[in-house]
Structure 1
Amino acid sequence: MAGREIRRTFAVFPMGSVMKLTNFSARQIRYYEEQQLITPDRNEGNHRLFSLDDIDRLLEIRDYLDEGYSIAEVRDIYKRRKDAHRTEDAKARRLLRDEILNSGPFRQQPHKSNTFNK
């Protein structure tokens, strides 16, 4: 994971900051967590800590709601994205495996027939 991606996943923002940045109430944010649309980390005191990715997700949720989507529809959108991402990951792993198996010392040799010349 690149440094920039790692920094985006650091959970450092407390609820109050996220409320200001997203214009959501604490109750709304907790509701989106209950709906499994976001998954903030927790600190030692069990307080929620949010990452930049969490904040982006909340802003995107706001955009969907403003466009008239229901929470159920938003959840379906994220589920389809996650499923598509899994499918893409599986394809990439298959391609990489095939590439490795067909190159270098892992190259598969064609199977020789055991027939004898008569």
Structure 2
Amino acid sequence: MTQEDVSYKDKKVISIGIVSELTGLSVRQIRYYEERKLIYPQRSTRGTRKYSFADVERLMDIANKREDGVQTAEILKDMKKKEQALKSGQFKKKMLEGQINAHFRYKNR
């Protein structure tokens, strides 16, 4: 997938300073969440972190959960569970589409 194929929401184009302004989080907090594997910024050739709008939304979600007292380990566990469920749902959808396509191809012969 090329950069042009990526939704505007997922393009990694926002600097950490702007992300800090948008979220109200300090640069240190944002880096900490990266260290805890809660966020994955892209790095430019010069090593500058670049974030997407989806990353900003994720950081806001993390900040809200932290304000509610949820630990980062629990947030990570929950995120992995949601990602796995999404992947599983996508896999099931593809399997169903394949079965439907195979069924109708077979009937049309």
> TM-score, with normalisation over the residues of structure 1?
0.81
Q: 3-state SS of the aligned residue for 2:37?
A: coil
TM superposition shift of 1:31: 1.3
Give the distance between the partners of 1:12 and 1:86, measured in 2 at CA: 26
The structure 1 segments of at least 4 consecutive aligned residues displaced by more than 3 Å after TM superposition are none
Give the distance between the partners of 1:36 and 1:88, measured in 2 at CA: 23
Q: Structure 1: any 5+ residue segments left out of the alignment?
A: 109-118
Q: 3-state SS of the aligned residue for 1:98?
A: helix
Give the letter for the 1:71 counterpart.
Answer: T
Give the letter for the 2:81 counterpart.
Answer: R
- Structure index of larger Rg: 1
Superposition CA RMSD, Å? 1.8
Residue in 1 that maps onto 2:103:
102
Superposed, 1:8-47 pairs within 5 Å as 8-47=9-48
Residue in 1 that maps onto 2:55:
54
> TM-score, with normalisation over the residues of structure 2?
0.87
Residue in 2 that maps onto 1:86:
87
Q: Structure 2: any 5+ residue segments left out of the alignment?
A: none
Give the distance between the partners of 2:83 and 2:12, measured in 1 at CA: 21
Q: 3-state SS of the aligned residue for 2:7?
A: helix
Q: 3-state SS of the aligned residue for 1:29?
A: helix
Q: Percent identity?
A: 30
Q: 3-state SS of the aligned residue for 1:102?
A: helix
Q: How many residue pairs were aligned?
A: 104
